Chain A
């Protein structure tokens, strides 16, 4: 009965590699989000999709590219990984609008 799931939970990789994080929600929500949480727990929104349409695209390096094949999935692809990309990445979803968001368990990305 998982609501928002992410894979993988942990990702350790070398600088310069390309990696993807997958997110799926089974809540029937229309809107999905990607957040980055740094080591001080600060949470920053990266992207938001509503019914497969990009609606928020924060100032994020274009090495980050979200893809939403359908409204239940929002994946994050990262090219040419850098040390500063190390963080915990959270996927979230909401029914309509941003108010009550349901978060996934997070993916801890470590770039060596």
Chain B
């Protein structure tokens, strides 16, 4: 079945550092890909998405590009802030169209 693998966490950075969180996937066909973010004590919210190969999703300074050749969707941000501290989930929409498959989540802590 379809699956998503994220880099192991937790990740701790200083403010203004560059962020990369790796995400690779296994799927039949070409699924849509997503990054969701969960701030402390809250539910998940969609951060960005890409629906086809070479698409770049972006939001709030975060970017991720759908790379079919490497089956990856890495999340990047050029300069993180303390307010970016959260858990980040990579996800794909299964080609059956019935559900999202989530990665295991990566805890990010940004220190001032």
A and B interact physically = yes
Check A98 against B43 for contact (C-beta < 8 Å): no
Segment among A14-22, A38-46, A67-75, A79-87 that sits at the interface with chain B: A38-46
| Contact call A99/B45, Cβ cutoff below 8 A | no
B60 close to chain A: CB less than 8 A: no
Q: For chain B, give the interface size range.
A: 20 to 34
Interface residues of A in 58-112 (CB under 8 A from B): 90, 92, 97-106
Contacts of B44 in A (CB 8 A): 43, 90, 92, 101, 103
CB-nearest residue of chain B to A108: B41
Binds A, one of B22-30, B61-69, B101-109: B101-109
Give CA–CA (A99, B101) in the complex, Å.
10
Residue pair B49, A99 in contact (C-beta under 8 Å): yes
Chain B residue, CB-CB nearest to A6? B43
The complex places the Cα of A105 from the Cα of B87 at a distance, in Å, of 14
A100 to B89, CA, bound (A): 13
Chain A interface (Cβ within 8 Å of chain B)? Answer: 4, 40-43, 45, 48, 55-56, 90, 92, 97-106
Could you list 30 A-B pairs, sorted by A, with CB under 8 Å?
A40-B104, A41-B38, A41-B87, A41-B105, A43-B44, A48-B98, A48-B99, A55-B98, A56-B98, A90-B43, A92-B43, A98-B94, A98-B97, A98-B98, A98-B99, A98-B100, A99-B32, A100-B34, A100-B46, A100-B49, A101-B46, A101-B100, A102-B45, A103-B43, A105-B41, A105-B42, A105-B43, A106-B41, A106-B42, A106-B43
Extra 18 A-B pairs, beta carbons < 8 Å, given A4-B43, A101-B100 = A41-B38, A41-B105, A43-B102, A45-B100, A48-B99, A56-B99, A90-B43, A99-B32, A99-B34, A99-B49, A100-B34, A100-B46, A101-B46, A103-B43, A103-B44, A105-B43, A106-B42, A106-B43
User: Which B residues are closer than 8 A to A by beta carbons?
Assistant: 32, 34, 38, 41-46, 49, 87, 89, 93-94, 97-100, 102, 104-105, 107
The 6 closest A-B pairs by CB, nearest first: A103-B43, A41-B105, A103-B44, A43-B102, A98-B100, A99-B93
